[in-house]
Amino acid sequence: MSDNHQLRDVFDAIADPTRRELIRLLAETEEMPLHSLTVQFPMGRTAVSKHLTILKEAGLVKDRKVGRETRFRLNAAPLGEVHDWLDVYRKFWSANMLRLNDLLEEDE
């Protein structure tokens, strides 16, 4: 576990398309209330809330109460783990594309 004591794996949290869309929506604004997030999806408030809980457990979302309303904001720091993991494969594909390019140029 990392310093923020994640209860859930970041990769598990972003595996679902609804949660990825929630992350995208929260990345576009400073914070959003639950009702504003719910209207973006063809599901009820409870289902959206469950997805947000999973994102919170992974440390990707933080919330705060403002009166009776709960507002959510993105905490992108845990996505660094995904970025680092993808970076290995980015280097792999870059190297392979260069080799493919060299092979194609040899054939010409």
This prediction has a pTM of 0.78
What are the structural domain ranges in the chain? 10-77
Q: 5 falls in which pLDDT band (50, 70, 90)?
A: low
Q: Structurally, what CATH architecture does the domain formed by 10-77 represent?
A: Orthogonal Bundle (1.10)
Two structure tokens written together for 16: 């679902």
Greater confidence, 107 or 72?
72
* Residue 43: predicted pLDDT: 97
Residue 93 has pLDDT above 50, yes or no: yes
